[in-house]
Structure 1
């Protein structure tokens, strides 16, 4: 029987996602060329971008790993757009959730970033919280 995960006890369970999230979202539209996307990743020194549709709603995440996989499969970067390689709509978290819930969600899903929304039903991103953000707030 698999061991049930629980939130790390060293996290401040009273701190909310909105207290630690990054609000300066770096995004790309789903139809952005992969060449331009790679340039953004390099310029900003980051490993992933939030992907938006034409009305600014969250539709996925594109990471360096997604790009590596496409290139490894023989695709030419020059011929691809973000939509070709991104991980479609992934797990989000509500900005009023506590950071222990964010950590648990990351652990259960083996992910390192969560797109933050204003409400559980919203697709409009207001920020991003990463595993590094949580590590920086350990007590």
Structure 2
């Protein structure tokens, strides 16, 4: 009979080498607007949903812009000067049309770097030209404390 003096072997858990991706942390149940929606409607939805902006899509669902609270301020200021309490301006008149997007397969670390570089609060996520979600700075910040040390 042979005895081993190595003691009890501890099996080390394998560290995950899978990248942490945008698609795993993005929001997919999005509020979206049409270019023909009124700013009144946008302000109402942003307030009700407690969000600061949303993607703008055409009738086919293609991303054509993004509208934010800051964009809506243009119509609010216009209403102040014309003394109108309603804001009938259209989304297409105030939305940001040159939208920077992210891929769902981008790593969360690369996404964090983009947030730092561009100082943008949200990025629509496109796959094959279609809007599949949105990732916000808050989504990225919420993701990191949940990660275990073995996933870094």
**TM-score if structure 1 supplies the norm length?**
0.81
1:20-39 Cα distance to aligned partner (Å, 9 max, x none):
00010110001111111111
Greater strand percent: which structure?
Answer: 1
Say if 2:76 and 2:87, in contact at 8 Å, map to a contact too: no
String of CA shifts for 1:59-104, please: whole Å, max 9, x gaps.
Answer: 1110011111332354765330101111113111110111111111
Higher relative contact order (CA 8 A, sep 6+): 1
Gaps of 5+ in 2: 1-17, 146-152
CA–CA distance in structure 2, aligned partners of residues 133 and 43 of structure 1: 20
Matches within 5 A, 1:107-126: 107-119=116-128, 122=129, 124-126=130-132
Q: What are the residue-to-residue correspondences of 1:54-133 with 2, within 5 Å?
A: 54-73=59-78, 74=81, 77-119=86-128, 122=129, 124-133=130-139
Q: Is the radius of gyration larger for structure 1 or structure 2?
A: 2
Of 35, 57, 61, the match for 1:30 = 35
The separation in 2 between residues aligned to 1:64 and 1:40, in whole angstroms, is 11
